[in-house]
Chains A and B, each alone.
Chain A
């Protein structure tokens, strides 16, 4: 965790009408780090990540990717720089198979004639298959329709899809919400696997035990302010109590900002 951070967001402000969703929020993500992003509902987590993924444009503040200042105006801009977002509930098309979902919008093409481009299905299936193997995602065949997969498998495919195109930064919005306990374990394993493979990851979650399990560091937002930025440490009970007290406003910790 040395050198320049892969992502740096400085003094991000964003308002929706009279509501200040983000007030001078700073965020850094280091290479190969898993960062937990927590906060109560409407704390500004999703807004902050939408700013990073280009879905929202901030009112002020700057985003730096590997020290380069960038301006995102839509999700394609951020995707081009290797930032991928795994959406909470609308990640996949159920009626398509795994391979088609992995390559949706980025199909491998054999030849092109105007807007008609012929797909290379075989290459896509092979690459999707090797992606699933590399990430140890347990799916019988990449030709299975997504509607036949379990909740955990779907989430795994959604995450796998985000990593398929040399993503440097993967943002996951509530990757473990609405999953069974066994499936949660698998998704957390997958996050660790991605970290081992060198990805930098931001995880938004309400489940503090998941954050504790996989994250190196955690940032807490409350009412659009960053109220804590601290390494994940201690035992789970102590960690949970500490984070919850930040979330509900019993304590504020600005040591992270002071250190900067």
Chain B
């Protein structure tokens, strides 16, 4: 409805408007990704019609998409401003271990804490890590790649140190486990969390000034600065969002696995970045959407699941995923190059 009104108001020649509308649809970034996703789904459904659509199999895919979708949304906020966050995989391990320690053992003379209190404490600590990243990037001019690489090492190291390398296991009756293992009408709770986070993030990016400023910073940081955008503040928010969502995934995975384990989330930051890029996010900043990022995670989820159903060797699976990543990036780069 919006677009027809804009067309009415604008002095467009009527003869042009149809071709323009068609080309606008073709330029719709996520369309190609959505088509690729549908083709993949159809292909795997055709290959194993009995298994692919089974609720249990769908739940596996949804859990995968939830894990990497949440991480990739955090990554999207940072990448949109032209940054990167390499710490999210290690942060899931650290936050998972911490939340388990707080709930099961307590720390030092502090006894085990309640579930909500433990979760809140871990979220605050993770947000402080994000604040640290943002502060380092904006005030100390440290490249985001380097500062988050530091956390990548430190967070993993701390997670191992806290646990001495052993997982902290929850009692199997522990109510916290519902978060990662529970369902609602056959939909995993963690997927519902993804939907809520995705809708919220999408609203922020598309409809608020904060979102517009995030895109503007990625497009032209100097233009944003001279236009009065609080460039540094916005970038700090993005790093906090990324760490916050990494923490959310850390808590969910601890619940899903029934333990806080220091080895969880290895290389997840790279999977999250891959999902964002397959979903059409530009690593140069300023381009990308929540919808695209989730489609990217969904493509990876369906492919991994489908390849397992087809009995493809897990070694070969990575090769195929790598090829898909390269094709996605090459296609996107060429397309953008042509349109310029």
Q: Taking beta carbons and an 8 Å cutoff, which residues of A are in contact with B?
A: 75-76, 79, 85, 87, 90-96, 100-101, 104-107, 109, 115-119, 121-122, 125-126, 129, 133, 140-143, 147-148
Which of the residues A94, A116, A122, A141 comes within 8 Å of B210, measured between beta carbons?
A: A116
30 A-B pairs whose Cβ atoms sit less than 8 Å apart in the complex: A75-B228, A87-B226, A90-B220, A91-B223, A92-B223, A93-B216, A95-B219, A96-B215, A96-B219, A100-B215, A100-B216, A104-B227, A105-B227, A105-B229, A106-B227, A106-B228, A107-B209, A115-B210, A115-B233, A115-B237, A119-B207, A119-B208, A119-B209, A119-B212, A140-B10, A141-B6, A141-B7, A141-B10, A141-B12, A143-B6
How distant is the Cα of A106 from the Cα of B216 in the complex, in angstroms? 13
Query: Chain B, 1-18, contact with A by CB distance < 8 Å: what is the 0/1 string?
Result: 010001101111000100
Q: Which single residue of chain B is at the shortest CB-CB distance from A99?
A: B6
- Within the complex, the shortest CB–CB distance from A209 to chain B, in Å, comes to 29
Which of the residues B204, B215, B228, B229 comes within 8 Å of A116, measured between beta carbons?
A: B204
Q: Which single residue of chain B is at the shortest CB-CB distance from A76?
A: B228
Q: Which of B204-241 contact A (CB under 8 A)?
A: 204, 207-210, 212-213, 215-216, 218-220, 222-224, 226-229, 233, 237
**Do A125 and B228 touch across chains, with their CB atoms under 8 A apart?**
no
Q: Which single residue of chain B is at the shortest CB-CB distance from A79?
A: B228
Q: Which residues of B sit under 8 angstroms from A129, Cβ to Cβ?
A: 9-10
Most buried by A among B12, B215, B220: B220
Which of the residues A76, A91, A104, A118 comes within 8 Å of B208, measured between beta carbons?
A: A118
How distant is the Cα of A141 from the Cα of B226 in the complex, in angstroms? 25
**Do A93 and B207 touch across chains, with their CB atoms under 8 A apart?**
no
**Do B6 and A104 touch across chains, with their CB atoms under 8 A apart?**
no
**Do B223 and A90 touch across chains, with their CB atoms under 8 A apart?**
yes
Which of the residues A91, A125, A148 comes within 8 Å of B6, measured between beta carbons?
A: A125
**Do A117 and B209 touch across chains, with their CB atoms under 8 A apart?**
yes
| Range class of the B interface residue count | 20 to 34
Q: Taking beta carbons and an 8 Å cutoff, which residues of B are in contact with A?
A: 2, 6-7, 9-12, 16, 20, 204, 207-210, 212-213, 215-216, 218-220, 222-224, 226-229, 233, 237, 286-287, 339-340
Inter-chain CB contacts under 8 Å: number: 92
Known contacts A104-B216, A147-B340; A93 and B208 CB within 8 A of each other? no
- Within the complex, the shortest CB–CB distance from B11 to chain A, in Å, comes to 7
Q: Which single residue of chain A is at the shortest CB-CB distance from B288?
A: A95
Q: Which residues of A sit under 8 angstroms from B207, Cβ to Cβ?
A: 118-119, 121
Q: Which single residue of chain A is at the shortest CB-CB distance from B285?
A: A95
- Within the complex, the shortest CB–CB distance from A191 to chain B, in Å, comes to 21
How distant is the Cα of A106 from the Cα of B9 in the complex, in angstroms? 23
Q: Which residues of A sit under 8 angstroms from B11, Cβ to Cβ?
A: 133, 140
Most buried by A among B20, B223, B228, B229: B223
**Do B209 and A95 touch across chains, with their CB atoms under 8 A apart?**
no
Q: Which single residue of chain B is at the shortest CB-CB distance from A91?
A: B223
How distant is the Cα of A109 from the Cα of B212 in the complex, in angstroms? 12
Q: Which single residue of chain A is at the shortest CB-CB distance from B216?
A: A93
- Within the complex, the shortest CB–CB distance from A97 to chain B, in Å, comes to 10
**Do B286 and A95 touch across chains, with their CB atoms under 8 A apart?**
yes
**Do A93 and B220 touch across chains, with their CB atoms under 8 A apart?**
yes
Q: Which residues of A sit under 8 angstroms from B213, Cβ to Cβ?
A: 104-105
Q: Which residues of A sit under 8 angstroms from B223, Cβ to Cβ?
A: 87, 90-93, 101, 104
Q: Which residues of B sit under 8 angstroms from A148, Cβ to Cβ?
A: 339
Q: Which residues of B sit under 8 angstroms from A119, Cβ to Cβ?
A: 207-209, 212
- Within the complex, the shortest CB–CB distance from B89 to chain A, in Å, comes to 28
Known: A93-B216, A116-B208. 10 other contacts (CB 8 A): A93-B223, A100-B215, A101-B223, A117-B208, A117-B209, A118-B207, A119-B212, A129-B9, A140-B16, A143-B6
